Amino acid sequence: MKLVSELFEPEPPRWGLRGDPWVWRAMAERLATTYLPPSLGEIERLLYAEFDRLVGVHLATETTEWVVREEFAHGGVSSGAVHLDTWRADLMPLLLDRASSKVAG
């Protein structure tokens, strides 16, 4: 059986703001022992729910571009800032693309 955390390797080459890689790593860690659900829809719900829990906003409905979360602050001007637009446009689609190849394969 495949684990959800496998979707997080390798890390993407670009991030939106400084908090994004910390959210990525926290999601991977939290899902390290979770088996990959059998359907892409279930995987999508799982990933969005975990993001929502960690960041404290509903990614699909939140209208702001970014939020700041102290738990993801590790130095720098935009420390702790999570770029929701990057998660919507790039990072979640990347995870779901990786998931689709795992479910199909």
Closest CA to 7 of 16, 30, 20, 52: 30
What mean pLDDT, rounded, does the chain reach? 90
The tens digit of pLDDT for each residue in 42-52 reads 999 999 999 99
Determine the average pLDDT of the residues in 84-105: 92
Q: How confident is the model at residue 79 (pLDDT cuts 50, 70, 90)?
A: confident
Give the number of residues written for the chain. 105
Is the confidence at residue 5, as pLDDT, over 60? yes
Q: How is the chain split into domains, by residue range? A: 4-100
Burial class (CB in 10 A: 0-12, 13-18, 19+), 94: middle
pLDDT given for residue 98 in this prediction? 96
Q: Are 85 and 66 in contact (CB under 8 A)?
A: yes
Pairwise CA distance, residues 15 & 17, whole Å: 6
Q: Are 54 and 30 in contact (CB under 8 A)?
A: yes
